[in-house]
Amino acid sequence: MRNSESTSGNDHRSQFWLTALFERILDRSDSPFFVSVVVFGGPPAVIAALYVGLRWSYMTIPFVFSLAALLVVTSAAPYLIWYYDAGLFPQFRENVRPLLDDPAVMGDIGRRYHGLLARWWWLPALSASVPIPLLLWFGTPFLREHGLFGVADPLFWAVAALLLWIAVIVGIGFLLVAITFLVIREVAAQPLEIDPMHPDGLGGMSAIGHYAIRTTTIFSLGALVLPLQLQYAAAVGPTATILIYVMGGVYGLFIAGSFLYPTIKINRKAEAIRSEILNELREQYYAFKRATDEPTVGIDVETTDHAAEQKLNRLQEEYREYRNVRLYPLQLPVLLRLFTSVLFPLLLLGVEYTIQSI
């Protein structure tokens, strides 16, 4: 999978530090699973194991469940970020080229947004990290209840570092969604071509839908942070609780928008293009009828030219093809991914509620 994903449409190594580091380690191990779970996910797992082992008497089933969910994030997120930068985005660029009047445009778009990720990843990462010190400050009762005793406690700093790393991952996730928004907006601003004979049955628009829904699926991993956030909100004062719910609300808006915005944007553009094509075909049809002295409605059975009739039939057939092509970039597999991405946070909330009810 590495060869097909990391090199598709990308003839140079990414300048984004996480992808570059991932690729360098892959040169030696050739196992994305090892790189993500062991190399990137190993240190957070060690911190969590030490914390649970040394402070076991403070652990509860819901809290251990929330820590395990965090470790899934630290283990899987590096792979997903690498996959987006080195696989999903380059594949999208290649798949969307046939839709553009000028395919070279995607080369410029790709360079700019790969560069945006490489140069500005720290800004959303820093923004997502800012609430962590505030939450640690306001959450002293919650932390003490779970075996963390402030700045004099070495485990406090280790767990704080783990939370900051998760915040960096979440911030990068927000940036990936923003890049998807911006890329789709730029593609929608370009002259597009609809291919009614495209194998996807969607005029070639499936490339947009797959890019959007896979971004949504990647970003939905952040829902694994929700159990810990909800436990925290239930145990601390209103100020920190409001911050938690604001963070959750922003996340919910992004996870919904990561699919809906690209889909609606491209669908509207494609509908406008189809309307123009249908108008042009209709005008050609009636102009040709007038040029061959055919009546506007029906045909003159006595003077109809069979060659002219074949051309009129061809125009009608092409009109029907463009009129009937489905432009909304959804197929059953895509719908299932979307449903799973939206259901995932709700499922986690249900599990959290069940565990706390035991």
The C-alpha atoms of residue 127 and residue 129 are separated, in whole angstroms, by 5
Q: What is the pLDDT of residues 82-122, one digit of tens each?
A: 999 999 999 999 999 988 888 889 999 999 999 999 999 99
Return d(Cα 232, Cα 243) in angstroms, integer.
11
Please list the residues that pair with 192 across neighbouring strands: 100
% of residues, the chain, pLDDT over 70:
85
CA 56 – CA 147 distance, rounded (Å)? 8
Least confident range from 5-9, 57-61, 347-351: namely 5-9
Specify the amino acid at residue 202: L
**pLDDT above 90: percentage of residues in the chain:** 43
At residue 5, the pLDDT reads: 41
Average pLDDT (135-153) is 92
Tokens of 146: 């779970």
Exposed, middle or buried by CB within 10 Å (0-12, 13-18, 19+), for 4? exposed
Task: Work out the pLDDT band at 4, boundaries 50, 70, 90.
Answer: very low
**d(Cα 257, Cα 259) in Å, to the nearest integer?**
5
CB crowding 261-275: b at 16 or more within 10 Å, else e: bbbebbbebbeebbe
Contact (CB, 8 A) for 61 and 351: no
Q: Specify the pLDDT at position 101.
A: 83
Phi-psi region of 272 (alpha: psi -120 to 50; beta: other; left: phi over 0): alpha
Give pLDDT tens digits for 306-344: 787 788 889 889 998 888 887 765 555 655 665 665 555
pLDDT at 210: 84
Dist CA 171 CA 121 (whole Å): 8
Is 303 exposed, middle or buried (CB count within 10 Å of its CB: 0-12, 13-18, 19+)?
exposed
- Beta-bridge partner residues of 100: 192
**What is d(CA 153, CA 15) in angstroms, rounded to the nearest whole number?**
38
Phi first, then psi, for residue 55 (nearest 5°) are -120, 40
| The residue to which tokens 């923004």 are assigned | 127
Calpha distance 73→229 (Å, rounded) = 14
Q: Is 266 or 34 the better-scoring residue by pLDDT?
A: 34
231 or 51: which leads in pLDDT: 51
Which pTM value belongs to this model? 0.83
Nearest to 36 by CA among 71, 1, 68: 71
Query: Is the pLDDT score of 269 beyond 90?
Result: no
User: What is the rounded average pLDDT for all residues in the chain?
Assistant: 84
Joined together, the tokens standing for residue 312 give: 């009129």
| pLDDT at residue 102, rounded to an integer | 85
Higher pLDDT among residues 258 and 168, named by residue:
168
Provide the pLDDT for residue 302: 62
CB count in 10 Å sphere of residue 126: 12
Higher pLDDT, 343 or 42: 42
Whether residue 135 contacts residue 100, with contact meaning beta carbons closer than 8 Å, is answered with no
Kindly state the tokens that stand for 230. Answer: 């909800």
